[in-house]
Amino acid sequence: MTGSAYLNCFYGILYRELYRFVQQRSRFLSALVRPLLWLVVFAAGFRAALGVSIIPPYETYISYEVYITPGLIGIILLFNGMQGSLSMVVDREMGSMRVLLTSPFPRSYLLICKLFSIALISSIQAYVFLFIASWFDINAPLAGYFYLLPACLIAGLMLAAVGLFISSLVRQLENFAGIMNFVIFPMFFLSSALYPLWKMREANDWLFQVCQVNPFTYAVELIRFSLYAKWNGSAFMVVAITTILFVLAAVAGYNPRMGLLGRKATGE
């Protein structure tokens, strides 16, 4: 198998994801409307709530809209990552992945291509969201928009990998609401996306501890710091390690000899 064959395979998977992204306009719109509703409606009531403390990477007082913008980029990546990966449940049964998974390419390579495609599409949506947010006077330094891309890609990879791992555990995607309730919402609410952690600690120390072990918190902080052209080494490390662990777990999950799928299929 040559390098160009691998590249062709990647292009194929990326093209398919892009094609699906362009075709499913309602999915794209809902992915944008969701964070915009948070920004325009939810945040309006809390506009002055945060002007009491300066937290890095900010150098002055900020409005609530400014605070939650990185968290809303996070929710775009989270929803898109989960939806993209969970579509594998259907895709592996009757979609193009069914064909690809039987191809001579290593399964791990195919899955990583899929994850990277999802992360790239999520990042495009994040930039469209930021463009709309700029109409509401939410702007970052110019350098921040460049630093944001690698941060979005790695955070998008992590969240897609989590979704892929979950998809390896479920046989049929009948209850996406269950995934929403037990995975997406807890990850989102128990993080620094909506409230800074010091506020969470004031409210409840137990909740603060949960937020601290939630990898989504670190994804949001990596995005937040990058958007303001600042480096957050600890957030990067947590996101990178979590990404590697979940990619390995998902690859194992999709291995017919090791994974749950294989065991289920063989009735073990």
Binding residues vs other proteins (CB under 8 A): 44-48, 51-52, 54, 59-63
Query: Is the Cβ of residue 9 or residue 194 nearer to other proteins in the bound state?
Result: 194
Least gap, CB of 65 to other proteins (angstroms) = 10
Query: Is the Cβ of residue 141 or residue 178 nearer to other proteins in the bound state?
Result: 141
With CA atoms as reference, report the closest residue to 179 among 89, 101, 97, 69. 89
Amino acid (1-letter code) at residue 162 = V
Query: Is the Cβ of residue 53 or residue 96 nearer to other proteins in the bound state?
Result: 53
DSSP one-letter string for 198-220: HHHHHH-HHHHHHHHH-HHHHHH
Query: Is the Cβ of residue 60 or residue 266 nearer to other proteins in the bound state?
Result: 60
Q: DSSP code of 2?
A: -
Query: Is the Cβ of residue 78 or residue 140 nearer to other proteins in the bound state?
Result: 140
Least gap, CB of 31 to other proteins (angstroms) = 27
Rounding to the nearest 10 degrees, give the CA dihedral for residues 65, 66, 72, 73.
150
Q: Say which residues have a Cβ less than 8 Å from residue 10's Cβ, sequence separation at least 6.
A: 113, 116
Query: Is the Cβ of residue 22 or residue 54 nearer to other proteins in the bound state?
Result: 54
Least gap, CB of 246 to other proteins (angstroms) = 38
Alpha helices in the chain (DSSP H): 3-23, 25-37, 43-45, 64-94, 96-101, 107-134, 142-169, 176-179, 185-189, 197-203, 205-213, 215-227, 233-253, 260-265
Least gap, CB of 255 to other proteins (angstroms) = 53
Query: Is the Cβ of residue 29 or residue 48 nearer to other proteins in the bound state?
Result: 48
218-221: list long-range contacts, CB under 8 Å, 24+ apart: 218/242, 219/74, 219/77, 219/155, 219/158, 219/159, 220/70, 220/71, 220/73, 220/74, 220/155, 220/191, 220/192, 220/193, 221/70, 221/192
